[in-house]
């Protein structure tokens, strides 16, 4: 069995995390959804499979959610993107975008990293009018 190696792509600022509206679902409980995309250069990993994941702390529990999988191109580049559905019992803290691979990447160049809440939390200053 091969061992997976994780490498930090970047932390997600709490200001972005706190913008997400928590949705209540039937099977998962409360969930926050984020659009995530990372354009990466991974010298030495051409044609190898990699995965993009989100890791975060929910109270005292460390959780992770897979976002996308793919193979690095012959030019050592890859675009990984998708929707991250994060189950939440307490609060999302210390959210990070990470790369998982079977081979340790010696170099990781992040050309672009994008994380955005799909649905924004309602502002308390907004009032519904009838």
Specify the pairing of strand 77-88 against strand 29-41: antiparallel
The domain containing residue 75 runs over which residues?
A: 5-117
Assess whether pLDDT exceeds 80 at residue 121.
Answer: no
Classify residue 127: in a domain, yes or no. Answer: no
Instruction: State residue 2's pLDDT score.
Output: 61
Q: Retrieve residue 1's tokens.
A: 């069995």
Tens of pLDDT along 38-56?
A: 999 999 999 999 999 999 9
Domain assignment present for 42: yes
Mean pLDDT calculated for residue range 13-40: 90
Q: What is the CATH number of the domain that holds 47?
A: 2.60.120.260
Does 14 fall in a domain?
Answer: yes
Q: How many domains does the chain have?
A: 1
* Segment 8-14 mean pLDDT: 96
Please check the confidence at residue 29 and state whether its pLDDT lies above 50.
yes
Q: From CA 109, how far away is CA 61, in angstroms rounded?
A: 30
Q: Is there a domain that residue 56 lies in? A: yes
Establish if 123 belongs to a structural domain: no
């Amino acid at each position: 069995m091969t061992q997976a190696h994780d490498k930090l792509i970047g932390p997600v600022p709490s200001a972005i995390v706190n913008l997400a509206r928590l949705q209540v679902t039937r099977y998962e409980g409360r969930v926050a959804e984020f659009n995530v995309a990372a354009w990466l250069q991974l010298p030495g990993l051409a044609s190898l499979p990699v995965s993009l994941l989100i890791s975060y702390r929910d109270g005292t529990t460390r959780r992770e959610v897979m976002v996308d999988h793919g193979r690095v191109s012959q030019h050592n580049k890859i675009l990984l993107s998708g929707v991250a559905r994060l189950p939440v019992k307490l609060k999302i803290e210390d959210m990070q975008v990470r790369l998982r691979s079977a081979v340790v990447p010696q170099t990781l160049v992040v050309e672009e990293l994008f994380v955005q809440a799909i649905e924004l939390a309602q502002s308390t200053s907004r009032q519904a009018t009838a």
